[in-house]
Amino acid sequence: MANSWPTLAGIAVFLAMLGLQQLIEPGTQRLLTAVFLFVALAQAWNIIGGYTGYASFGQVAFFGLGAYTVAVLMNNYHVSFWAAMPVAIVIGVAFAVGIGVPLLRLRGHYFAIATLGAAEGAREVINNMTPVTGGGGGITIPTFGDQAPTAYLGKPGFYIAFLVVAAASVAIAAVLARSRFGYAMVAVNQDEDAAASVGINTTLVKVIAFGVSAAIVACAGAFYAFQQIAFYPTDVFDTSFTVLMVIMVVIGGSGTVLGPLVGAVGLELLAQYLRVNLGIYNQLIFGAIIVLVVIFFPQGVVNFFRDAWRSRNFSILDNVRRYRL
């Protein structure tokens, strides 16, 4: 079984991360929890943006909807988190299908802007449904005593929860990528008309890819809401979540399973390091690093090293010339 080693490696990493939890302190656990969150988000974006080629800039809508579904159900209706989380996924997918059917007809930049608009719209709806969501005043999930529908998981609990979400997202991406559906997504990405002409139902492929992506993001949003306890619409509908997802995938290498993983882990650790050690300069350096990586590794770090390994050409200068005018 020559092709089973990535699966084995994945399982080994998962078990190693589980074991690592016993060795590290709560602060580090929280840091890694954030890394896991971004692994899941990046994998989700990669399914619609990387494989299918539709750059969704509205992913944060699913995140916010997932978060608010859980918070509203737990706070207003005293529903257990484990019952609310699946509902959050269903709502995320329903929203994706609802906006996906009209918007996935648009291509390129137009799709990107339209999804951005949909996310802003979703935020405003949540923001103005004050009787249900608390509006701009935010919402709080009861976590203490008899009022708590589900006991708070704590740092160790959320470490495991986000690890499982991240692992599941990697597994879903890996399975999809190797399936017939994965080839259909890539075909739509490369040439949609050609894909349609060989009998691929392109609309269905795009909507399913968007839905799967939304499901992962909504699930991550649900856990994030529970972890945060209290939050505002501007927190969970923050466009910078979407931007980070895109950056992580593109820098890691879009259209690969490994790329988003590398991008999310690398960038989140880097961002945390800069935040702690460079204070006011952290955003400046972060921006500069994005610019440099885009210039030197335009196809993503993973794709660069894979191609470089195959062609035995590790020249970064040649790589810069690749997309030059």
Partner 1 sequence: MSQFLQAAAYGFVQGGLLALVAVGFSLVWGIMNVINLSHGALAVTGAYLAWLLNTHFGIDPFLSIPIVAACMFVLGYVIQRGLINLVINAPIFLTLLLTFGLGLVILNTLQLVFTADDRSIETSYASQSFVIWTVNIPYGRLGACALAVAITVLLALVMTRTRLGRAIGATGMDRGAARLMGIRARHIYAVTFGISAALAGIAGTMIATVGTFNPTSTPSQLTLDAFVISVLGGLGNMYGALAGGLVLGVAESIGGLVLTGTWVNAIAMAVLILTLIIRPSGLIGKAQYGGRVEV
- Please report, as ranges, the residues that interact with partner 1 according to CB under 8 A: 49, 55, 102-103, 106-110, 112-114, 116-118, 120-121, 124, 127-128, 130, 135-136, 243, 246-247, 250-251, 254, 280-281, 283-284, 286-291, 294-295, 298-299, 320, 322-325
Closest by CA position to 71, among listed 96, 91, 94: 91
Look up residue 11 and give its two tokens. 């399982």
| Spatial distance between the Cα atoms of 261 and 243, rounded to a whole number of angstroms | 16
Burial 203-212 (b: 16+ CB within 10 A, else e): eebbbbbbbb
Rg (Cα) of the chain, in Å, rounded? 20
Q: Of 15 and 291, which CB lies nearer to partner 1 in the complex structure?
A: 291
Closest by CA position to 201, among listed 98, 101, 113: 101
264 to each of 87, 102, 143, how far by Cα in Å?
Answer: 27, 30, 30
State the nearest-atom distance from the C-beta of 322 to partner 1, in Å. 8
194 to each of 108, 187, 189, 249, how far by Cα in Å?
Answer: 17, 8, 10, 26
Contact 30, 186 (CB under 8 A): no
Neighbouring CB atoms inside 10 A of 174's CB total: 17
Look up residue 53 and give its two tokens. 């080629």
State the nearest-atom distance from the C-beta of 291 to partner 1, in Å. 4
State the nearest-atom distance from the C-beta of 270 to partner 1, in Å. 13
Q: Of 45 and 159, which CB lies nearer to partner 1 in the complex structure?
A: 45
State the nearest-atom distance from the C-beta of 52 to partner 1, in Å. 13
Q: Of 203 and 299, which CB lies nearer to partner 1 in the complex structure?
A: 299
Q: Of 140 and 299, which CB lies nearer to partner 1 in the complex structure?
A: 299
State the nearest-atom distance from the C-beta of 93 to partner 1, in Å. 20
Contact 199, 209 (CB under 8 A): no
Q: Of 83 and 238, which CB lies nearer to partner 1 in the complex structure?
A: 238
State the nearest-atom distance from the C-beta of 251 to partner 1, in Å. 8
State the nearest-atom distance from the C-beta of 124 to partner 1, in Å. 4
Q: Of 49 and 182, which CB lies nearer to partner 1 in the complex structure?
A: 49
State the nearest-atom distance from the C-beta of 110 to partner 1, in Å. 6
Q: Of 198 and 325, which CB lies nearer to partner 1 in the complex structure?
A: 325
Q: Of 141 and 246, which CB lies nearer to partner 1 in the complex structure?
A: 246
| Spatial distance between the Cα atoms of 291 and 279, rounded to a whole number of angstroms | 20
> Which 8-state DSSP code applies to residue 50?
I
CA angle 290, 293, 299 (to 5 degrees): 120
